[in-house]
Amino acid sequence: MRLWWLRMRVMTAKELLQLSRDPVLLIILAWFFTADIYIAGSGISMDLRHASLAVLDRDRSEASRELIQRFRPPYFEYQGELSSGRQGIRRLDRGTSMLVLEIPPHFERDLEAGRSTAVQLQVDTTNTVLGTLATGYAARIVARYGEDRVLDRLGVTDQQLAAMPRIEARQRVWYNPNQVDPWFMSISELMTVITMLSLMLPAAAAVREKERGTIEQLAVSPLTPFQILFPKVIAMTLAILAGTAVALFLILFPVFHVPLKGSLSLFFAVTALYVLAVSGLGLFIASISRNLGQVSMLVIVVLMPMLLLSGAWTPPEAMPALLRHLMVISPLYWFIELGYGILLKGAGLAVLWDSVIGLSLLGAAIFGFGVMRFRRQFG
Amino acid sequence: MPLLQITGFHKRYRRQVAVERVDLSVGRGEIFGLIGPDGAGKSSLMKAAAGVLSYEGGLIEAFGVPLDSETNAERVKDRIGFMPQGLGLNLYPDLSVEENIDFLARLREVAPADLARRKRRLLAMTRLERFRGRAMKHLSGGMKQKLGLVCTLIHQPELVILDEPTTGVDPLSRRDFWAILTDLLRDRGITALVSTAYLDEASRFHRLALLHQGQVLDQGTPEEIVSRVPGRLLSFRTSQPGEALRRLQGRYRQLDYDGHRIRVFVTATGEAAALDELRRHLGDLPVRQLEAGEPGLEDVFVALLRGRGDADREGVPRLPVNGRSHRGGEDEVLIEASGLCRDFGDFRAVDRVGFRVRRGEIFGLLGANGAGKTTVIKMLTGILRPTAGSGRVAGADMRRAAGAIRQRIGYMSQSFSLYRDLTALENIRLYGGIYGLGPGLLQERIDWVLEMAGIRGHESDRTAALPMGLRQRLALGCALVHRPQVLFLDEPTSGVDPLGRRRFWSILTHLAREQGVAILITTHYMSEAEHCDHLALMHAGRLVADKTPDALRRELQQEVGELLELQLDHPLEALERLEGQFKGVTLHGNRIHLFAPSLSAAEPVIRRLLADTGVELRSLRTRVPGMEDVFVYRMGLLEREAA
Amino acid sequence: MKASRVRAVACKEWREILRDRLFFTMAFGVPLLIMLVLGYGLSLDVKNIPFAVVDHDRSASSREYVHRFSESRYFDLVGYVAREKDLDPLLADSRIRLGLVIPDRFGERLQGDRPARVQALIDGMFPFRAQTTKGYLEAINAEANRELLVDWLARSRGMTRERAVQQVTPVRLQQRYLYNQAIESDWSMASGLMMLVLMVSPPFLTALGVVREKESGSIYNIYASTVSRGEFILGKLIPYVGVSCFNILVLWLVATQLFGAPFKGDPLFFFIASVVYVICTAGIGLLVSILVSTQVAAVLLTMVITFIPAMLYSGLLVPVESMSPDARLQAWLFPPRYYLEITWGSFLKGLGWSDLWLPVVVLAGYAAVLWSVGFLAFHKRPRR
């Protein structure tokens, strides 16, 4: 037993030493845990900003101008008036405008007369998400405008308004009240990076031993395959946890002001569990690759479906039924649930126990499989 | 005007100097050799000469064109053929033999008719025609090397530059390779610049340069170089080797003891003077079988290196020399294999192999690439499961007690298996930990390894930065950290300089003689095979001989007779005639080796054959056949049987 | 420049692609995999948002209100819970993304012409989805209010319902969705993904193809022979460009057949523009291969310089106009945005040469620059 610990200890120390002596790897680690997360976190925001709007105002009245005025930044960017419908189509074709609003002649007169009228909005829906979002906002502006006109015309006062049946939906957005995109993006990128490195690092360490022939030396020693492989996983887990700490304390908290609602130690514990699980997959990759080039190719092939099934892009509820069931086998799915749950939602073990168990079972299965494959090669 | 003229050549990689101030010239029709260990600067020099590497200082001129710019280098490339280092690394593993040749030919725009003709001829010469359609990755080492040569020659260059074409290839394939090159030389008047790490190949060259650490130690014909270090190589047996070594140690720097014989290089002129000198120093010690011989190039190289003081820079291992100290019975068998078989799919890699290695014995396993040596070692060390048969290693059954065996054996493979990014000390500590040494014992063993390998002063250097020889001894130290009773060594010396190899062997003999370790070793250096107590030859997975070196030599002499060496002024013209009459005719630079029943019987025949060719026979003498001669003869027989 | 030598290099390369199983997969399988994975996975539609309700009222009105949500395709009712506190763990565990709290006397207040207040708790974990959820919530709520207003007007002002309806909505918004009338996000995504895949795959193949020779040492055959660097680069890259051209067709088929994206433009124009784009991105691979000497470095570097710009700065997710100035600069610098313009223009807008010649010219310019730099930086007599 003492011998067992001694062996594990010297092997882990060896892996850490090797890691610390590999400048290229250290630079890659540093890049992914800082710059990469920063770029992803600050890069883009998925909500509608400055949707370019051109207007074909055929009425040119007080009423039409008031409506146009309501299309304001940050959601809309008013680009000016158009002279013809053709021009509008050209702008949409070219992609210089995303929306073209057309106000019909006699717009004001119809409104005054209490006649129903319609404005037309042409939307570029090549980007469907933003197209629908923009339409939604526009519809709300127009509805609001109409409502104001009606109440105005009917002469409803504020007092009377309080005596009208109305449902006021007060919204409270939890966990990220101001919907700060970098919170989401940076955490999601951190998890992707952790996934990629957990696949890559142990696989690379194992394949490097194959490439250099040191694996044979270990194979003739009294070490068991588990004792050869597991220290790699421990060492890489430690390195990844250190990187995660760097990312959290250098980027996520100070730069993006991500709140920490839950327990940090629970987050690290879950991360460690996750890294262990995924590195089993990495060892499997290592067992079927001959060199580092192949490892990196296979990592990409494995990483892609994992990202798909993770729920980072598409929430499980929006997935086709088949894929939704498949998500259970993607460790990243469990990890994202747990990670966001702990960091943003402040969830504890009481709530997350099922995900932890799911991840543990999956991890044990994957890791066992990885070691088995490797053992068959060098047993 | 020489074909290739190199003056003041200088090459750096960033701050690391690879080659400095090298002057060489290679004349038309010459085979010029560059000899030196790994890292001596051979590859840089050859790449620059082939116009595929830029350099910082000096000038290389080929065919009178200065290779000082990319444009100028392009002008001579159709007249040069270049084969880079590494077995088949310049070939395309997924393409077949023929596709590889075709591709290189089309790159060089060889006309289809010429291509067909040359391909037929070269494939026939290299005996590769049967494998035309086989993917290159499925060829054996020797075949890859020959295919590489064919690809290099397909456009009929006037100058071929071959970078270590024979490294990692067994002696038979090596000899084959030289035969092909000799033929081409004869037919086409090709000029060749060839590098090698095997000093025993030096006699193949017309002229050669000895390279060490980026500098030329010496250059000239083999005879010239040997004559620059006058002296005699003496060897003898004695019943008190410890005392003999003690008496000689201070006086001679080149002193080896392989457990049987003591070999010493005495720098006295003349055989008689040398023998006298040695007897004087040995005094009253009983000496048997005292023999004097001419030094080989390896001895000269070692002498030159020692003369430069390099030996002391690397640190010399000092080993206690005394009588046999190990306990246990002399005849205890530590490795025993019987009926070992191993199949890979339909292919039987090892077929019913059985042998025994006793305590304190050095057992050499020789054979061509792919003969199954490594597979045997892998089975005995428990990496690979045998298909059939059994084995006992260090008193435990191979199949049942693999765990117990692993604790009792040491293993060192071709790649030295060290972690290059760890320091020397960290490597030793790692293996100490793996074998479960406690802190006290670990420190003791660390001291022992540092002492044995001569690493003191380099403990905290990165392993990658250590010289090859040191790295090799460190790997040996790591394999020995737990005091194994049995040691497996799989080509442990490839790429190491001769000095390093000698030191390595002196450690091995010490281990075997003093500590009773049983050693199983494979090697392609036939000079090392001489040091083994016992030799086993493997061919196509089977053991074909299992005897002492002397017995093997005697057997050869009984079967084919004496080995004769002819020195000639125009050996190429004589070659064909001699081939018709004698067995084993091979060209070595200006000399020809052949087998004949006896010198007296052969001499008139040879003189008659050469009489009307106008070739002058400068000297004719018998040589003691080396292990290489034994190996090549034996393996050649088997190959012919198989074909 | 001799065609025979170019052909020799190209043939050899082609054979290697076909025989190396892993490389073959890289060449043909991986692009398809990325397309399928992202095509199915990168759906940004927000629908079936799971929600739960705390109904303190339990009246007909409250049930009707909840019904409005559960009936829409955007929301999916998970169930009712008794207390507000019960919503917390459900939100924390991501079982629901929205919690509705309907207060006591909700129906009673509405009946009594008084405003009522409901509370919506939205999971803000994914900001984009939270925002969309808010939008849907507001729309459904507005619809409910409008009906209440119509009822109220009918009751208090004595209007007919028709008249009241007209009064309540004086201005209607007629939406005309151009280019993607059915608002199928798959259509946009699938065609947009061609941009992504063709940005990543050709450089990968090219960089690995060249670096592989460097790593093994077979590049010395080229260095030592009379093949000119131009002939080598051309011969080496032709198969990869060829593979990628084949992939253009495959991806086009996947986009149109599997994801059902319409193709309204000029196929010939689109193919030619795509080939120009592939030549351009292969040039990126060529540059990478000259900079690095190992396959691992090639994979990582290619990944960093192609995948992220193509994903984030191409306009695929966010229109270039909506980006921050920094991001916009990045978008202008990288080729993908130009090709995305071509793709969406060809697929969805039905445009051709006359409208899209400029981006094609820009891509051709990129290609020329990348290949020239690659050519000049490649040496047959390197320093190491």
Residues B542 and B564 in one domain: no
Closest residue of B to A227, CA-based? B434
Residues B10 and B156 in one domain: yes
Residues B111 and B212 in one domain: yes
Cβ-contact B615, B155 below 8 angstroms: no
C221 touches chain B (CB under 8 A): yes
Domains and CATH numbers, chain A: 2-44+179-378 (no CATH), 51-162 (3.40.1710.10)
* Tens digits of residue pLDDT in B457-472: 888 888 888 877 888 8
Per-residue pLDDT at B484: 92
Amino acid identity, position B41: G
Per-residue pLDDT at B313: 40
CA nearest neighbour of A161 among A172, A150, A145, A146: A150
Residues B559 and B543 in one domain: no
Most confident of B139-143, C144-148, C227-231: C227-231
Closest residue of C to B104, CA-based? C221
Residues B137 and B258 in one domain: no
Residue C250 has pLDDT above 70, yes or no: yes
* Domain contains B285: yes
d(CA C111, CA A21): 76
CB contact under 8 A, A173 and C115: no
Domain stops at, among B508, B531, B547? B547
Amino acid identity, position B243: E
Per-residue pLDDT at C64: 92
Question: What are the backbone dihedrals phi and psi of residue B281, each rounded to the nearest 5 degrees, phi first?
Answer: -70, -30
DSSP per-residue string spanning C250-271 = HHHHIIIIIS-----S-HHHHH
Q: Which domain holds residue B569?
A: 551-642
Domain stops at, among B547, B576, B594? B547
Residue of C216, C227, C383 lying closest to B89 (CB–CB): C216
Closest residue of B to A23, CA-based? B421
Per-residue tokens: A26? 């250290």
Cβ-contact C265, C347 below 8 angstroms: yes
CB contact under 8 A, B433 and A22: no
Per-residue pLDDT at B192: 92
Residues B212 and B262 in one domain: no
Mean pLDDT calculated for residue range A286-296: 80
SS3 category, A102:
strand
In chain A, which residues have their Cβ closer than 8 Å to the Cβ of B381? Answer: 220
C8 touches chain B (CB under 8 A): yes
Per-residue pLDDT at B582: 87
Question: What angle do the packed helices A2-20 and B424-434 form, to 10 degrees?
Answer: 150
Residues B240 and B360 in one domain: no
Closest residue of B to C14, CA-based? B95
CB pairs under 8 A between B and C: 92
CB contact under 8 A, B418 and A214: yes
Pairing mode, strands C75-81 and B591-596: unpaired
Cβ-contact A93, C355 below 8 angstroms: yes
Burial A2-35 (b: 16+ CB within 10 A, else e): eeeebbbebbbbbbbbbbebbeebeebbeebbbe
Measuring CA to CA, how many Å separate C10 from each of B107, C16, C277?
11, 10, 20
* Subunits with 3+ C-beta pairs closer than 8 A to C: A, B
CATH number of the CATH domain containing B475: 3.40.50.300
* Domain contains B142: yes
Per-residue pLDDT at A43: 65
State how many domains chain B has. 4
Mean pLDDT calculated for residue range A241-262: 90
Comparison of pLDDT for A2 and C205, the residue scoring more: C205
At C284, the pLDDT band (50, 70, 90 cuts) reads very high
Q: Shortest Cα distance from C1 to chain A (angstroms)?
A: 33
Amino acid identity, position A299: V
Per-residue pLDDT at B326: 46
* Domain contains B319: no
In chain A, which residues have their Cβ closer than 8 Å to the Cβ of B418? Answer: 214
Mean pLDDT calculated for residue range B385-400: 87
Residues B451 and B524 in one domain: yes
* Tens digits of residue pLDDT in B104-115: 999 989 999 999
* Domain contains B283: yes
Per-residue pLDDT at C111: 87
Burial degree of A261 (CB within 10 A; 0-12, 13-18, 19+): middle
Residue B183 has pLDDT above 60, yes or no: yes
At B231, the pLDDT band (50, 70, 90 cuts) reads confident
* Tens digits of residue pLDDT in B546-562: 888 889 988 888 888 88
Residue of C92, C157, C183 lying closest to A128 (CB–CB): C183
Per-residue pLDDT at B314: 40
In chain A, which residues have their Cβ closer than 8 Å to the Cβ of C124? Answer: 173-177, 179, 344
* Tens digits of residue pLDDT in C156-169: 777 788 877 777 77
Give B59's strand partners: B7
Write down the residue that tokens 């890069």 correspond to.
Answer: A43
Domain stops at, among B520, B547, B574? B547
CB contact under 8 A, A317 and C48: yes
Residue B317 has pLDDT above 60, yes or no: no
Mean pLDDT calculated for residue range B605-611: 86
CATH number of the CATH domain containing B234: 3.30.70
Per-residue pLDDT at C274: 96
Residue of B80, B89, B103 lying closest to C224 (CB–CB): B80
In chain C, which residues have their Cβ closer than 8 Å to the Cβ of B52? Answer: 220, 223-224, 380-382
Predicted complex: ipTM over 0.95: no
C49-168 in CATH: which number? 3.40.1710.10
* Domain contains B17: yes
Residue C339 has pLDDT above 90, yes or no: yes
CATH number of the CATH domain containing B635: 3.30.70.100
Residue C372 has pLDDT above 90, yes or no: yes
Residue B310 has pLDDT above 70, yes or no: no
DSSP per-residue string spanning C277-310 = HHHHHHHHHHHHHHH--SHHHHHHHHIIIIIHHH
Per-residue pLDDT at C294: 78
Per-residue pLDDT at B312: 44
Closest residue of C to A52, CA-based? C321
Q: Is the dihedral of CA C314, C320, C323, C327 positive or negative?
A: positive
C3 touches chain B (CB under 8 A): no
In chain B, which residues have their Cβ closer than 8 Å to the Cβ of C217? Answer: 84-86, 89-90
* Domain contains B300: no
At B497, the pLDDT band (50, 70, 90 cuts) reads confident
Cβ-contact C7, B107 below 8 angstroms: no
Q: How many CB atoms sit inside 10 A of residue A127's CB?
A: 26
Residue B316 has pLDDT above 50, yes or no: no
Q: How many CB atoms sit inside 10 A of residue B576's CB?
A: 11
Closest residue of A to B430, CA-based? A10
* Subunits with 3+ C-beta pairs closer than 8 A to A: B, C
Mean pLDDT calculated for residue range A187-202: 89
Residue of B382, B421, B432 lying closest to A220 (CB–CB): B382
Residue A282 has pLDDT above 90, yes or no: no
Per-residue tokens: B139? 């060829």
Per-residue pLDDT at B2: 87
Mean pLDDT calculated for residue range C205-213: 89
In angstroms, how far is CA B142 from the centroid of its own chain?
14
d(CA B168, CA A81): 80
C10 touches chain B (CB under 8 A): no
At C304, the pLDDT band (50, 70, 90 cuts) reads confident
At A45, the pLDDT band (50, 70, 90 cuts) reads low
Contacts of B223 (CB under 8 A, 6+ apart): none
In chain A, which residues have their Cβ closer than 8 Å to the Cβ of B429? Answer: 10
Residues B434 and B351 in one domain: yes
Residues B277 and B358 in one domain: no
Range of lowest pLDDT (A234-243, B364-373, C29-38, C41-50): C41-50
In chain C, which residues have their Cβ closer than 8 Å to the Cβ of A344? Answer: 124-125
Cβ-contact B525, B501 below 8 angstroms: yes
Give the strands of the sheet with B255-257, arranged side by side.
B255-257, B262-266, B232-238, B287-293
Domain ranges of chain C: 3-43+183-377, 49-168
| Percentage of chain C lying above the pLDDT 70 cut | 98
Residues B202 and B60 in one domain: yes
C224 touches chain A (CB under 8 A): no
Residues B409 and B496 in one domain: yes
* Tens digits of residue pLDDT in C81-102: 999 889 988 888 888 889 999 9
Q: How many CB atoms sit inside 10 A of residue C379's CB?
A: 13
CA nearest neighbour of A171 among C113, C12, B551, C133: C133
Contacts of C53 (CB under 8 A, 6+ apart): C66, C77, C79, C80, C81, C99, C100, C101, C102
* Domain contains B524: yes
Mean pLDDT calculated for residue range C187-216: 88
CA nearest neighbour of A372 among A353, B512, A364: A364
Mean pLDDT calculated for residue range A164-179: 78
Per-residue tokens: B451? 């002492």
CB contact under 8 A, A21 and B421: yes
* Subunits with 3+ C-beta pairs closer than 8 A to B: A, C
- For residue B134, what is the DSSP state? S
In chain A, which residues have their Cβ closer than 8 Å to the Cβ of C122? Answer: 171-174
